[in-house]
Amino acid sequence: MQTKIPHSLSCIEEDDIVNVKEVMKSGYLKNGHWVKQLQMKVANDINMSFSVITFTGSLAIFLALKLLELPRSAKVILPAYICKSVTTAIRMSGAIPLFCDVSFEDCSLDLKSVNKKLDHSVTTIIIAHLFGNIANVEKFTNFSVPIIEDAAQAPGGQNLGKYSDMLIFSFEGTKMLCAGEGGILAFKSDKLAKLLKERLSRGDICSLTTTDIQASVALSQWNKREIFIKKRRLLAQNYDHAFFPHGIRRFGNQDSLFSRYVIKDCLNVDEMIIKASKENIQLRKPIDPEAIATPNWKEFPVTKHLVSSNLSVPIYPSLTEKAQNQIINFVLKHIKI
């Protein structure tokens, strides 16, 4: 029987397992040594003042918004083409999500759409680096409101955190770096870091920190991120060499981290997913319509197009050459563009 090729697969290796064993042997499973090590390592590596680990990436966004001490019913701009967990975090904080369309080029927040929605009630902008493609954050800095980067799908790359006030990562099960669950919130400002510590000590915000078990895996995954990115880029090159001569295109440039390899302008996405499953290949819509941030996504023309025409194929470090060739042959045989 043909082995199933999953769409996403965590890259758990011996060093990840060794770290978990060390935590278990210590008898201390709450947040301690490993949490502190991870927080310090992430902050140092991305040149941020401080970082704090949370149970999930969504809670990292929630914590970021609470730290900004926004007025009740403040509006937060975010892309319509994004997972609804971001919307949930905004609403949990007491703010109101204000959706904007995204660009055809990299699926990131569209500047023209933001300009149309921006007014005095907008207090924050959330910019996501979808599929490992690094968005141009600098062009949003003229709006004079705090910027939060959602780098859940981009744990690396140039200029992360350079033009924003806060940055979040995720270690959820389908992300490039996986600890089962977990998130990181990093700050550029010493003032924000000090405010967080004060509010935690006063009890204004409850501790959202995960355990040492998750932190130990997240730390070893974080330390291997450059290796993972290199392997993903090599897999992407293989896809490119096979697909480009047939006019099949994908999102991302040479700087993409390829947390997803997303084929654009596919005319038969649903048909491809169903046919692939019968051949034990799992293809997906990179953001399922049921999981999109707003039920009104059809009102945004670019988002509507992307939902119906984006097709994500497996790309993870342990993907074998044989499996990748199976995927390539299937796509070339069945895709309509």
CA distance to 9, 143, 174, 252, per residue, from 240 (Å) = 21, 37, 23, 11
Question: What is the rounded CA–CA span in Å between residue 45 and residue 117?
Answer: 35
| Token pair of 90 as six digits | 């905004």
SS3 content of the chain, % helix, strand, coil (to 5): 45, 15, 40
Question: What is the rounded CA–CA span in Å between residue 83 and residue 190?
Answer: 30
**Under a CB-based contact definition with an 8 Å cutoff, are residues 6 and 320 in contact?**
no
- Same fold for the domain at 14-223 and the one at 225-334? no
Classify residue 74 as left (phi > 0), alpha (psi -120 to 50) or beta.
beta
Residues 30-52 have pLDDT tens digits of: 888 999 999 999 999 998 988 99
Q: What residue spans define the domains of the chain?
A: 14-223, 225-334
Nearest Cα to Cα of residue 16 among 223, 316, 318, 154 = 223
The CATH class that applies to domain 225-334 reads alpha beta
Nearest Cα to Cα of residue 5 among 258, 276, 271 = 276
pLDDT at residue 87 in the model: 94
pTM check: above 0.85: yes
**Under a CB-based contact definition with an 8 Å cutoff, are residues 285 and 269 in contact?**
yes
Counting every residue written for the chain, the total comes to 337
Question: What is the rounded CA–CA span in Å between residue 53 and residue 122?
Answer: 27
Question: What is the rounded CA–CA span in Å between residue 260 and residue 250?
Answer: 10
Question: What is the rounded CA–CA span in Å between residue 32 and residue 24?
Answer: 13
DSSP designation for 209: -
pLDDT per residue as tens, the chain (337 positions)? 568 999 999 999 999 999 999 999 998 888 889 999 999 999 999 989 889 999 999 999 999 998 888 888 899 999 999 999 999 999 999 999 999 999 998 899 999 999 998 888 899 999 999 999 999 999 999 988 999 999 999 998 888 989 999 999 999 988 999 998 999 999 888 888 788 778 777 766 666 788 899 999 999 999 999 999 999 999 999 999 999 999 999 998 888 999 999 999 999 999 999 999 999 999 999 998 888 888 899 999 999 999 999 999 999 999 999 999 999 999 999 999 9
Within 8 A by CB and 6+ apart from 224, the residues are: 11, 13, 15, 177
| Token pair of 224 as six digits | 């291997």
Beta bridge partners of 167: 149, 186
Please check whether the domain covering 14-223 is classified as CATH 3.40.640.10: yes
**How many Cα neighbours within 13 Å face the side chain of 320?**
6
Residues 188-234 have pLDDT tens digits of: 888 887 887 787 777 666 667 888 999 999 999 999 999 999 999 99
159 φ, ψ (degrees, to nearest 5): 70, 15
Nearest Cα to Cα of residue 237 among 175, 177, 306, 315 = 315
